[in-house]
Structures are given as structure tokens and as C-alpha cells.
């Protein structure tokens, strides 16, 4: 606990707006998710030292950055916190190379050249090193911003909605870079976002923020499987996250077969090699239920599941949490959860009470490419 | 061409340029510092400091000149000390004239610089700090280059104002040919003598030429600096 | 209409109709050094129906403004040269020009200085007494007091030695101030200026022969002569005006 990458517990009050947040981040990517105005950016700004909390404690890798009791408030330049903001904030009077090197003095002289080359290579910035920010595209600017933060030898990387100002094409261009950051550089990342696809793709730990408070905190799969949290994660987009491995490709029909706990899942073709671990999100509204596996249907994925929990709201919907048990050959693995949204009528008609075995029907095409992310991906990645 | 002006008039022109140049260059760092304090720091007495900086704009120049005399004259608080410790005298010297010009031009300089400083995106400065730059480094590498157009503008305005400075100068350092008789003082001398109109007109034309040249050069310089700061020119 | 309203209306009409002594309003341009005297006489003239608005500045400035058409009804100058200037341009009302006061030129210092036992005339060791200090005076180029000072210093043979040791000021007040602050060791001002500050003392008085007569003159500008203005000029050269001049440290009219 003392040497956890990040431990923060802070409180802040400004007029009507107040923050009371406690969170711990492990190695890997921790996502701060919440609606706009929930306070996520403020929490990150406090971590960076740009805003002073009224009271609380912030510790990174065992070093105290802030402690109101002890009167410690480290200046931002000493914190070793790398920041990537929503707007790239590139220095307009310096070119890309100079921007990148701005914080390089925090890297030991012997390693500077190598680290620089590595980051430039990782982010594909070779061709634009001489250019000024004014001559860059949105995607290039943000990649430069990421590279610049990386090159300041941070102990922890903060990314505050770095993709929010980019269009869908740019986002999918940059997401893979961000995915590899934590793995390639071994630096923990705190990633702020209000877009679930990004969170699903990148995060190991999820912190749900609402009205300045941390409402839930834990592994991504667990939080997204909880029905009580769907109001925070977005009811319409609610869906569970599944981990699977690539079993093979059917190139003639452009599909990939995934192995999830021994069950077979078809998805549109992804450029991943065999055996690679994949994380995918399946929206609850894309999951139908059947008592027996239907035949002569277009739905390719039919997984045997057990009803774990049902939640009925005031409307016509019923939210169902279903447990996917590992096949015998996967005995030691943990069960995963799939969420389904059906009508109250179907819930009644099918008699969906706890423990009932049913089949989860998931359209292969509903598993969109954007939610397919690799855990610790290597050289091959999605090209969009 | 040399006959366009008499030797004394050429001397006045030369002295004016020297005095104004020193006044401007000497007060540039102070102007930047004051612009920064007023733009970036909140403190008790902020309004007072701001008002004090602007006094030379609103008070009669003769009053400022008298104030300088009281402060920096040999019998003055600061002036006496300067003489006793360093042997420096400012009254009746071109250095005193430069100080008078600098004081009168200071508010214009600070205003221009403050404006461009306030236009510098603080988000950039924050980003620089998170990259490990101490506040001084942030100022020198980020803030100053980006506010440079304002520094240039402030400098030029101050130079032009210094060239035309009369009231405070003549009150503080009087009208000594070769030492403190700058162009405006020489011009005034001519207007006050019957029959001096032609000479005054000549000097006025000269003053206009010098001022316009300075302004044009600075305009070019400012544009170049601005383009560089915005990233449209490569080094 | 009520009785009250009728009363008020009647009083207002009567008040408007009553022959109030008609106030004549005039503007007088006067040399700055005469300000204490003119200010003292303004209430006096107001009693007699002449409301004076006085504009004070250097004699040269005022003369030029009158030449350019400023609406001055009368001009008071410390220096006959500028009165001549206006007369040449036919800007004065005929036969209104007259002398009204005089002044003396003095050498002042901030602290008491040792005065050698000799006549203040040619050969007086002013340069030695000045030492490494400066002599403050109005700029001889354009301040009347400065011109007189140059004449007087030339008359005692000190001009050549002193001319590079001067502190020429914008007006005689500037010279007075430099000496009062102790910045200039010596200064040349009018006798009437000495009483304006307690920080100077008279070192020597220049003899009247050593410079052109310092005579103050007044005149009415062309086509503006009225009885009221003539009366004002009479007052200036009459007992009341003379008393006022003497009280302010000037000499009486020559």
C-alpha cells in the first residue's frame, strides 16, 4: 500500500462545487470515468499540482506530494507527473523535436538519445520533427503531446481526455499508441475519459466519479458487470467486458474466432495473432436470451449462461446479469459476466429467475471493432 | 545636407537619440518585471502599484520632474546616497535626462507588455511546469518568447515617448547644451524666440522623420517576432 | 393661480427687470510672475463691475497666442520686447501701452556663502565662489529673467567664465526651485521671487545699471478698449496697483 503507484484522498470545495475523492491506482491503466462536470479533471489537476486541495493526501510511489496535515505541497515541476491534456498545449514557438525535448533534462544524460529515439519511433513522429505545431494535424499534435509527457521521465502519466477533441478516425489512430504506453514504458497511467469505448479498451482499473465523489473503484470487468452501477456507466451503452483469446481466423468469411473460457465467440476479423488476449465489450442491448439455442438463425454466438441477477426498473426493461461458467477444460478460470437487456414481458414469459440456465445470443456484428482491444498488445494492431 | 541643421541642432538630435535609447533599453527589464507582477500576482496593494505606475500619464510632467529632483537630486533621499556612496550625480547630466524620459515612458511600456503577457495561454505555462520546468525556466522559455511582440511594441512606444519628453526633463536636469538639451528642448527654445519659427519648423520635420522611421522599423520587427512566436517561421 | 404662485412669479419678473450693475467680463493675459498682484486686484475690479479672467504663462507664449488670435482683451508682460512684437503687428489698442512696475535682479544661494569684501561689480570672483557647482537661471534664449541675467553677468565680466557652468531652466521659477533644493549653488532670479520660498537667501543684488530696465508693461489689445479696461490699467498704474506691486516685492513703475 505504501508503495502503490498512486494513493490519493483529497477534498476541495469551491462555491457549489465540491470534491471528495479517494482512490488507489495500481500499475497499468486506471481510468477515471464520469459525466462531464463530475470533477474528474479537477482531481487530475490536483494530482499534477496545478490545483491545491483544501485537505488530504497524495502519494505517488511512496513519495508524499501533498499532505495538508504535514504542510507538504510539492510544486508541479518536482512531482514527476507527466500530463497530457485535452488540448495538446504544444509550445507554438518551438518545433516538434524541441517540444518533445522540453522535459528531457529529467532523463539521465546517458539515456537521453535512446529514450528520444524510442518515443519518436513508438509514436510515429519521425516525419514531423522539424515542423511547428501550427503545421500539424490534430492527431499529430496529440501524439507529440503524449511523447513530450513521456520524455519528461514521469513516475506516473496523467491523461485528461486526450482524445476528446479528435474525430473518430483520429481516435482509432491514436488509441493503439496509448494502449502500448503503459506496457512499453512501465509507467502507470491515470486516464480520464467520458467515453466508455476508450475505458474498455485501455483500462485495467476503473474509478467511477460522480458529482465530485468516487462512487466505485475496482477492476474494469467487475464494475461493468454490476447492474447497480449502470446509471453511472451509461444505461444505454451499458455492457459487460469479456476477456478472450484469439483462437483462429476464418479469412474466407472475414471472421475471427475467440475463445472465452472454452466457449466460442465469433467477431468481425481483427488483426491479432493466435493466442493474443483480447478484451471486448458486449452491449446489454445487443444480447438476447433464449431458453433453448435457436436453429436457423443468423445469430452466430450462442453461449450457455446462468441467470445471476435481475433488476427491474419502472419502465418496460429488465436488466439481467448472466454468469458464463468456464468449460471443464478451463476449470480453474474465473467466471465472467454478460449483461442483457430484455423486456419485462420476456422476463416474465421466460421465467428468468436466479439460477435459471439460459442461452445468451450475441450477434457477431454487434461486437464492434472499437471495443476490441488487446491487453498488452504487441506490434500488430487494429488498422482503421 | 549637413547644413540642414546647425551644429547645435545636430548635437541636440544626437543627444536625444542617445538619451532615448538608454532610457528605453534600461527600463525594458523593469517594464517586463512590472508587467509580470501586475498581470500574474494578486497582492494587497495591487491597485496602488498599478496607479503609481500610471502616475506619469496623468500628472503634469513638471510635477514628475520636481518629484525626480526631490528624490534624485544631490539633496534628495536617493540622490544624496548615490553621491556619497558611488559619486554619482544625476542632475544636470544626460543620465538624469534618460531617467526622466524613462519614467515618463514607463506607463506606456508596461501597458503594452502587460497586454501581451495576459494573452499568453497559462495552460502552456502549466504544461511546462508539469514537464519539470521551474517557474524561472517557464518564464524564460515559454512566457517571454510568447510575449515578445508586446515587449517590442512597449519598447518602441517608450522610445517614441522618450524622444518627445520635455517637461519632466527640463525641470529635473535643466536645459544644458550638449548634456541635457534634447530635441524637444531645442525646439521649445526656438519657438520662444521671435524669428525662431523657421528653425523650429526644421527641427519639427526632423522629429517627425525620426519618429516615423522608428515606428516603421519596429512594426516590421514586431511582425517578424509575432510570426516566429506563432510558429509560422522556421528558425 | 394661487396667491403663492402669483407672488413668486412677480418677484421673478421684477428680479429680471431690475437694473443690476452690468458686469463687464474680460480676459487678461499676464506674465506668470505678476500672478500674485493681478490675483489681489481681481476682487477690487469686480467691485467696480469688471470681472477679470486671468491667464498666466510666459510672456513669449502669451504674445504668440495673441498673434494667432487668442481672445485676450489686455496683455501684461515682464518684457518690453514682446510688447514691441505685438505693437509691430498692430495688435495693440493705440495709446494704451504703459509701464506699471519694475523689478530688480538678485543673485541667490541656498546656504549662506562667504562674501569677499569687495564691490559686486567687474572682477568679482563669482567663478571661484561657484566652484564646481552650477548657476541656475531662466534660459537666456527665451526667459526674460534669463536675458537680464546674461546682461548683468556680462556687465560684471563673469559671463565667459560661467557660461559653461549654467543650469538654464524653463522659467524663473525653475531656477528658484533648483537653488531652494540646493541642487544649484547659485541662481539669478527677480527680487520679487525671493519671498516665494524660505529656502533661499539673497547673496548679492545686481545694480540696475548692469542690465536693461526690468519694466512691466500693460496694454489693451486692438479694438478691445473699453472704459472698464482703461480703468483697470489706471488702477494698475495708480495707488492701489502700485501698493499691490510693492507688497509683492516688485518695484514701483519707473
Identify the pLDDT of residue A381: 38
Give the cell for residue A155: 513516475
Identify the pLDDT of residue A1: 44
Q: Beta strands of A225-268 (E only): which ranges?
A: 239-250, 255-260, 263-268
The verdict on C37 and C72 lying in the same domain is yes
Cβ contact, residue pair A92, B230, below 8 Å: yes
Q: Name which of A138-152, A175-189, A344-358, C180-194 the model is least confident about.
A: A175-189
Q: Which residues, including other chains, have CB under 8 Å from residue A223's CB and lie 6 or more apart?
A: A206, A208, A216, A217, A229, A233
**Domain count across chain C:** 2
Q: For residue B192, which residues of chain C lie inside 8 Å, CB to CB?
A: 58, 60-61, 141-143
The distance in angstroms from the start CA to the end CA of chain C is 67
Neighbours of A, requiring at least 3 CB pairs below 8 Å, are: B
Interatomic CA distance for residues A194 and A36, integer angstroms: 7
pLDDT, tens digit, for every residue of B94-120?
A: 999 999 999 999 999 999 999 999 999
- CATH code for the domain of C67: 3.40.190.10
Q: Over the Cα atoms of chain A, what is R_g? A: 22
Give the cell for residue B47: 491597485
Q: Which residues, including other chains, have CB under 8 Å from residue B207's CB and lie 6 or more apart?
A: B163, B164, B183, B184, B187
Query: What would you measure as the largest C-alpha separation in chain A, in angstroms?
Result: 70
Mean pLDDT of C156-162: 92
pLDDT, tens digit, for every residue of C79-92?
A: 888 899 999 999 99
The verdict on C88 and C175 lying in the same domain is no
What count of residues does chain A have?
384
Edge-to-edge strands, sheet with A55-60: A72-73, A63-67, A55-60, A6-14, A17-25, A213-219, A205-210, A29-33, A189-193, A156-160, A81-84
pLDDT, tens digit, for every residue of A328-343?
A: 887 777 888 999 999 9
Three-state DSSP class for residue A280: strand
Q: Are B16 and B177 in contact (CB under 8 A)?
A: no
CATH 2.170.190.11 fits B8-42+106-167+179-230, yes or no: no
What count of residues does chain B have?
235
Identify the pLDDT of residue A183: 77
pLDDT, tens digit, for every residue of B44-55?
A: 999 999 999 999
**Which sequence spans correspond to the domains of chain A?**
6-222, 239-374
For B71, the closest chain C residue by CA position comes to: C181
Give chain B's contact residues with C (Cβ, < 8 Å): 62, 66, 69-70, 73-76, 91-92, 167, 170-171, 174-176, 188-189, 191-194
Name the minimum distance, in Å, from the CA of B59 to any CA of chain C.
18
For A51, the closest chain B residue by CA position comes to: B126
Interatomic CA distance for residues B126 and B111, integer angstroms: 24
The verdict on C199 and C131 lying in the same domain is yes
pLDDT, tens digit, for every residue of A234-268?
A: 766 778 888 888 899 998 998 999 998 889 999 98
The verdict on C67 and C137 lying in the same domain is no
Cβ contact, residue pair B126, A93, below 8 Å: no
Chain B interface mutation, best of A42, A65, A88, A93, highest count of B Cβ atoms under 10 Å: A93
Identify the pLDDT of residue A379: 31
C10 within a domain of the structure (yes/no): no
Query: Alpha-carbon dihedral of residues C9, C13, C18, C24, nearest 10 degrees?
Result: 110
A357 C-beta neighbours (distance < 10 Å), count? 11
Identify the pLDDT of residue A99: 96
Cβ contact, residue pair C174, B171, below 8 Å: yes
Interatomic CA distance for residues A31 and A373, integer angstroms: 15
Interatomic CA distance for residues A41 and A38, integer angstroms: 8
| Domains A6-222 and A239-374 belong to one CATH topology | no
Phi-psi region of B19 (alpha: psi -120 to 50; beta: other; left: phi over 0): alpha
Cβ contact, residue pair B132, A103, below 8 Å: yes
The partner residue sitting opposite C142, judged by closest CB among B62, B91, B192, is B192
The verdict on C32 and C77 lying in the same domain is yes
Interatomic CA distance for residues B90 and B83, integer angstroms: 9
Give the cell for residue B224: 517578424
The verdict on C148 and C221 lying in the same domain is no
CA proximity to C220, closest of C239, C236, C238:
C236
Q: Which residues, including other chains, have CB under 8 Å from residue B177's CB and lie 6 or more apart?
A: B8, B11, B12
Interatomic CA distance for residues B179 and A307, integer angstroms: 99
Q: Which residues sit opposite A279 in a β-bridge?
A: A243, A373
Burial (CB count <10 Å: 0-12, 13-18, 19+), residue B129: buried
Interatomic CA distance for residues B45 and B48, integer angstroms: 5
Mean pLDDT of B187-197: 80
State the pLDDT confidence band at B65, using cuts at 50, 70 and 90: very high
Q: Are B186 and C168 in contact (CB under 8 A)?
A: no
Q: For residue C58, which residues of chain B lie inside 8 Å, CB to CB?
A: 192
Interatomic CA distance for residues B112 and B149, integer angstroms: 9
Estimate to the nearest angstrom the gap between the alpha carbon of B95 and the chain centroid.
Answer: 13
Q: Give this prediction's pTM.
A: 0.79
Cβ contact, residue pair C174, B194, below 8 Å: no
Q: For residue C134, which residues of chain B lie inside 8 Å, CB to CB?
A: 92
Residue B209 at interface with chain A, using a CB cutoff of 8 Å = no
CA proximity to C200, closest of C94, C110, C116:
C110
Name the minimum distance, in Å, from the CA of A6 to any CA of chain B.
17
Cβ contact, residue pair C181, B69, below 8 Å: yes
The verdict on C193 and C219 lying in the same domain is no
Q: For residue C177, which residues of chain B lie inside 8 Å, CB to CB?
A: 66, 69, 171
B227 C-beta neighbours (distance < 10 Å), count? 12
Complex ipTM tops 0.90: no
CA dihedral for B156, B157, B162, B166, sign (positive or negative): positive
pLDDT, tens digit, for every residue of A105-129?
A: 888 999 899 999 999 988 889 999 9
How many Cα atoms sit within 13 Å of A106 on the Cβ side? 24
C234: containing domain? 22-102+214-247
Cβ contact, residue pair B174, C136, below 8 Å: yes
Mean pLDDT of A355-383: 67
H-assigned helices in chain C: 3-17, 35-47, 59-67, 80-88, 126-130, 144-155, 159-162, 172-180, 191-194, 227-237, 239-247
The verdict on C203 and C232 lying in the same domain is no
Phi-psi region of A205 (alpha: psi -120 to 50; beta: other; left: phi over 0): beta
Q: Are A260 and A327 in contact (CB under 8 A)?
A: no
Residue B231 at interface with chain A, using a CB cutoff of 8 Å = yes
Interatomic CA distance for residues A112 and A115, integer angstroms: 5
pLDDT, tens digit, for every residue of A2-51?
A: 567 899 999 999 888 889 999 888 888 999 998 888 888 899 999 999 99
Chain A interface mutation, best of B149, B230, B231, B235, highest count of A Cβ atoms under 10 Å: B231
Q: Are A75 and A115 in contact (CB under 8 A)?
A: no
Identify the pLDDT of residue A144: 95
Identify the pLDDT of residue B226: 81
Give the cell for residue A27: 500499475
pLDDT, tens digit, for every residue of A199-228?
A: 888 888 999 998 888 888 888 888 888 888
The class level of CATH for A239-374 reads mainly beta
What count of residues does chain C have?
254
| H or E segment to which residue B63 belongs | helix B61-72
Give chain C's contact residues with B (Cβ, < 8 Å): 58, 60-61, 64, 81-82, 85, 134, 136, 139, 141-143, 166-170, 174, 177-178, 181-183
Classify domain A6-222 by CATH number: 3.40.50.300
Interatomic CA distance for residues C190 and A90, integer angstroms: 70
Q: Are A246 and A258 in contact (CB under 8 A)?
A: yes
Q: Are A49 and A76 in contact (CB under 8 A)?
A: yes
Interatomic CA distance for residues A192 and A195, integer angstroms: 9
Q: What is the DSSP letter of A257?
A: E
Estimate to the nearest angstrom the gap between the alpha carbon of A55 and the chain centroid.
Answer: 29
Name the minimum distance, in Å, from the CA of B70 to any CA of chain C.
8
Cβ contact, residue pair B132, A105, below 8 Å: yes
How do A255-260 and A263-268 pair as beta strands? antiparallel
Amino acid at each position: 500500500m505504501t508503495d502503490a503507484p498512486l494513493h490519493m484522498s483529497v477534498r476541495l470545495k469551491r462555491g457549489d462545487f465540491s470534491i471528495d475523492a479517494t482512490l488507489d491506482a495500481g500499475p497499468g491503466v486506471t481510468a477515471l470515468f464520469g459525466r462531464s462536470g463530475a470533477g474528474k479533471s479537477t482531481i487530475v489537476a490536483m494530482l499534477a499540482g496545478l490545483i491545491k486541495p483544501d485537505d488530504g493526501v497524495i502519494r505517488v510511489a511512496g513519495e508524499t506530494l501533498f499532505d495538508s496535515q504535514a504542510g507538504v505541497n510539492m510544486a508541479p515541476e518536482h512531482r514527476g507527473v507527466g500530463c497530457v491534456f485535452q488540448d495538446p498545449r504544444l509550445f507554438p514557438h518551438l518545433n516538434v523535436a524541441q517540444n518533445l525535448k522540453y522535459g528531457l533534462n529529467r532523463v539521465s544524460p546517458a539515456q537521453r538519445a535512446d529514450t528520444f529515439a524510442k518515443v519518436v519511433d513508438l509514436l510515429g513522429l519521425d516525419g514531423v520533427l522539424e515542423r511547428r505545431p501550427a503545421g500539424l494535424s490534430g492527431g499529430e499534435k496529440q501524439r507529440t503531446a503524449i511523447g513530450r509527457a513521456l520524455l519528461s521521465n514521469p513516475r506516473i502519466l496523467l491523461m485528461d481526455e486526450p482524445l476528446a477533441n479528435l474525430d473518430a478516425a483520429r481516435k482509432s489512430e491514436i488509441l493503439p499508441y496509448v494502449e502500448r504506453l503503459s506496457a512499453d514504458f512501465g509507467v502507470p497511467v491515470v486516464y480520464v475519459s467520458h467515453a466508455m469505448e476508450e475505458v474498455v479498451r485501455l483500462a485495467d482499473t476503473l474509478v467511477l466519479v460522480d458529482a465530485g465523489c468516487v462512487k466505485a473503484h475496482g477492476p474494469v470487468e467487475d464494475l461493468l458487470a454490476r447492474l447497480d452501477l449502470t446509471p453511472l456507466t451509461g444505461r444505454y451503452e451499458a455492457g459487460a467486458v469479456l476477456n478472450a483469446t484469439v483462437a483462429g481466423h476464418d479469412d474466407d468469411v472475414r471472421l475471427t474466432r475467440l475463445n472465452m473460457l472454452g466457449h466460442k465467440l465469433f467477431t468481425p476479423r481483427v488483426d491479432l495473432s493466435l493466442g493474443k488476449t483480447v478484451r471486448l465489450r458486449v452491449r446489454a442491448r445487443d444480447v438476447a436470451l433464449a431458453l433453448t439455442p435457436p436453429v436457423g438463425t443468423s445469430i452466430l454466438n450462442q453461449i450457455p449462461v446462468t441467470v445471476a441477477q435481475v433488476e427491474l426498473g419502472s419502465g418496460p426493461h429488465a436488466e439481467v446479469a448472466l454468469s458464463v461458467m468456464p468449460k471443464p477444460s478451463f476449470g480453474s478460470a474465473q467466471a465472467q459476466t454478460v449483461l442483457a437487456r430484455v423486456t419485462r414481458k420476456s422476463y416474465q414469459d421466460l421465467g428468468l429467475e436466479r439460477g435459471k440456465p439460459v442461452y445468451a445470443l450475441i450477434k457477431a456484428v454487434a461486437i464492434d471493432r472499437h471495443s476490441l482491444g488487446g491487453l498488452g498488445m504487441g506490434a500488430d494492431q487494429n488498422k482503421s | 545636407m549637413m547644413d540642414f541643421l546647425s551644429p547645435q541642432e545636430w548635437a541636440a538630435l544626437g543627444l536625444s537619440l542617445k538619451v532615448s535609447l538608454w532610457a528605453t533599453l534600461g527600463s525594458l527589464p523593469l517594464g517586463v518585471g512590472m508587467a509580470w507582477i501586475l498581470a500574474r500576482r494578486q497582492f494587497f496593494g495591487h491597485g496602488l502599484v498599478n496607479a503609481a505606475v500610471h502616475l506619469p500619464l496623468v500628472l503634469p510632467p513638471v510635477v514628475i520632474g520636481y518629484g525626480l529632483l526631490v528624490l534624485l537630486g544631490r539633496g534628495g533621499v536617493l540622490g544624496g546616497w548615490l553621491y556619497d556612496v558611488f559619486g554619482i550625480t544625476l542632475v544636470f547630466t544626460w543620465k538624469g535626462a534618460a531617467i526622466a524620459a524613462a519614467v515618463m515612458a514607463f506607463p506606456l511600456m508596461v501597458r503594452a507588455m502587460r497586454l501581451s503577457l495576459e494573452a499568453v495561454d497559462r495552460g502552456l505555462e502549466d504544461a511546462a511546469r508539469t514537464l519539470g520546468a521551474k517557474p524561472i525556466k517557464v518564464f524564460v522559455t515559454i512566457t517571454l518568447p510568447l510575449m515578445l511582440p508586446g515587449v517590442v511594441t512597449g519598447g518602441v512606444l517608450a522610445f517614441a515617448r522618450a524622444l518627445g519628453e520635455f517637461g519632466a526633463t527640463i525641470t529635473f536636469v535643466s536645459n544644458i547644451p550638449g548634456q541635457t538639451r534634447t530635441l524637444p528642448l531645442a525646439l521649445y527654445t526656438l519657438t520662444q524666440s521671435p524669428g525662431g519659427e523657421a528653425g523650429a519648423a526644421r527641427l519639427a520635420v526632423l522629429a517627425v522623420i525620426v519618429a516615423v522611421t522608428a515606428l516603421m522599423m519596429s512594426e516590421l520587427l514586431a511582425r517578424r517576432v509575432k510570426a516566429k512566436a506563432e510558429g509560422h517561421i522556421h528558425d | 393661480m394661487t396667491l403663492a404662485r402669483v407672488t413668486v412669479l412677480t418677484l421673478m419678473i421684477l428680479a429680471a427687470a431690475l437694473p443690476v450693475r452690468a458686469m463687464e467680463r474680460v480676459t487678461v493675459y499676464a506674465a506668470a510672475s505678476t500672478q500674485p498682484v493681478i490675483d489681489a486686484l481681481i476682487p477690487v475690479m469686480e467691485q467696480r463691475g469688471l470681472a477679470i479672467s486671468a491667464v498666466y504663462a510666459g510672456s513669449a507664449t502669451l504674445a504668440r497666442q495673441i498673434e494667432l488670435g487668442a481672445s485676450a482683451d489686455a496683455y501684461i508682460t515682464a518684457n518690453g520686447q514682446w510688447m514691441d512684437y505685438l505693437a509691430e503687428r498692430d495688435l495693440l489698442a493705440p495709446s494704451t501701452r504703459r509701464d506699471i512696475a519694475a523689478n530688480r535682479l538678485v543673485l541667490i544661494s541656498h546656504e549662506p556663502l562667504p562674501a569677499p569684501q569687495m564691490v559686486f561689480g567687474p572682477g568679482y570672483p563669482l567663478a571661484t565662489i561657484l566652484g564646481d557647482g552650477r548657476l541656475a537661471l531662466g534660459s537666456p534664449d527665451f526667459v526674460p529673467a534669463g536675458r537680464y541675467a546674461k546682461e548683468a553677468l556680462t556687465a560684471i565680466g563673469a559671463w565667459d567664465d560661467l557660461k559653461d557652468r549654467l543650469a538654464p531652466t524653463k522659467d524663473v521659477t525653475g531656477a528658484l526651485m533648483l537653488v531652494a533644493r540646493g541642487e544649484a549653488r547659485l541662481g539669478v532670479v527677480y527680487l520679487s521671487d525671493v519671498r516665494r520660498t524660505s529656502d533661499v537667501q539673497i547673496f548679492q543684488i545686481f545694480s540696475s545699471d548692469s542690465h536693461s530696465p526690468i519694466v512691466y508693461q500693460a496694454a489693451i489689445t486692438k479694438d478691445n478698449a473699453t472704459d472698464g479696461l482703461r480703468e483697470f490699467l489706471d488702477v494698475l498704474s495708480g495707488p492701489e496697483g502700485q501698493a499691490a506691486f510693492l507688497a509683492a516685492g516688485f518695484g514701483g513703475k519707473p
